[in-house]
Amino acid sequence: MRYILQGFLILGLTFLTQIGGVAWLLSLSMPRRTLRLALFALSYLVLWAACLWLAPLGGRVALPCHGTGHATGPLEMRSWLTCALNRNYVTPDLKATLERTAQTMQDRHPGTITQVLDANFPFIDGFPLLPHLSHKDGRKADLALYYMRDGQYLAGKTRSPLGYFAFQQGPSDCPRKWPTLRWDMGWLQGLFPDYQLDPQRTRDLLAVLQADPAIGKVFLEPHLVAEIGANEPKIRFQGCRAARHDDHLHLQLAPRDG
Ligand SMILES: [Zn+2]
């Protein structure tokens, strides 16, 4: 029984952070629980730092986490937790694209902060960043939507702490069908502040992504696309089985040539 529990723990930590399972395995060499937890924390920290150096060898780089929550530049990670869990890695191409996009948005609307939510793990093509099945090659990332209150843009703020799960409600043609990743999380919705979507910035962001040849596709829920009046051909519906995209926006690089 103990071995099964340990197995689940290692698997869970691996799927959550990619390196957590290895850190836990290392900690098992300690006889007492407190020592084990201490070695786990230390191993995790060392492995986390090592990723910053090792991931570029395999073609992924970390999106910088300093400044998270302090809005020091046009692009930032939404949450330090995403960084701590190692979910902020992308290919150098995608990093450059995100920086370019955020800079353009800030040029058009001074003070605009573009925030990245989940990206990818540091290693291994094909290893998905659950629950995002497609975030497995460093070429995909999720962006927070832009919000406002009483018509005023809220720089660096999202309705939910992680940027996910605070859905903008609207009509949908999706039937309620199992299995699905299309969670509604109705029980959570009342907890989030009632910010409104910033239609101007969101529309401009979509136009910037449309104009960038590096970008292949963008996923956003059809009712939001209709609401803000965007009709860029790169904006697609992700399908009814995938997660809702009216709490965030997903983008991915265009396929490589050849
Ligand atoms: Zn995504």
How many angstroms separate the CA atoms of 240 and 141, rounded? 20
Q: How far is the CA of 219 from the centre of ligand 1 (A)?
A: 8
Q: How far is the CA of 51 from the centre of ligand 1 (A)?
A: 22
Residue 55: Cβ within 10 Å count: 20
What's residue 258's pLDDT? 52
Q: How far is the CA of 42 from the centre of ligand 1 (A)?
A: 31
Q: How far is the CA of 30 from the centre of ligand 1 (A)?
A: 38
Cα of 145 vs its chain's centroid, Å: 12
Q: How far is the CA of 77 from the centre of ligand 1 (A)?
A: 14
How is the chain split into domains, by residue range? 2-57, 62-253
How many angstroms separate the CA atoms of 78 and 158, rounded? 8
Residue among 56, 53, 45 at smallest CA distance from 17: 45
10-residue averages of pLDDT along the chain (258 residues): 87 92 90 90 96 95 79 86 95 97 96 95 90 90 96 91 86 75 77 91 95 94 88 86 87 84
Q: How far is the CA of 39 from the centre of ligand 1 (A)?
A: 33
How many angstroms separate the CA atoms of 132 and 244, rounded? 11
Q: How far is the CA of 122 from the centre of ligand 1 (A)?
A: 16
Q: How far is the CA of 210 from the centre of ligand 1 (A)?
A: 17
Give the architecture (CATH level 2) of 62-253: 2-Layer Sandwich (3.30)
Q: How far is the CA of 184 from the centre of ligand 1 (A)?
A: 17
How many angstroms separate the CA atoms of 140 and 119, rounded? 6
The two beta strands, 215-219 and 235-236, are: parallel
What's residue 206's pLDDT? 95
Residue among 198, 188, 196, 181 at smallest CA distance from 162: 188
What's residue 19's pLDDT? 92
Q: How far is the CA of 33 from the centre of ligand 1 (A)?
A: 37
Q: How far is the CA of 109 from the centre of ligand 1 (A)?
A: 25
Q: How far is the CA of 250 from the centre of ligand 1 (A)?
A: 4
What's residue 144's pLDDT? 96
Cα of 72 vs its chain's centroid, Å: 19
Q: How far is the CA of 27 from the centre of ligand 1 (A)?
A: 33
Q: How far is the CA of 247 from the centre of ligand 1 (A)?
A: 11
Q: How far is the CA of 142 from the centre of ligand 1 (A)?
A: 5
What's residue 51's pLDDT? 95
Q: How far is the CA of 221 from the centre of ligand 1 (A)?
A: 12
Q: How far is the CA of 94 from the centre of ligand 1 (A)?
A: 13
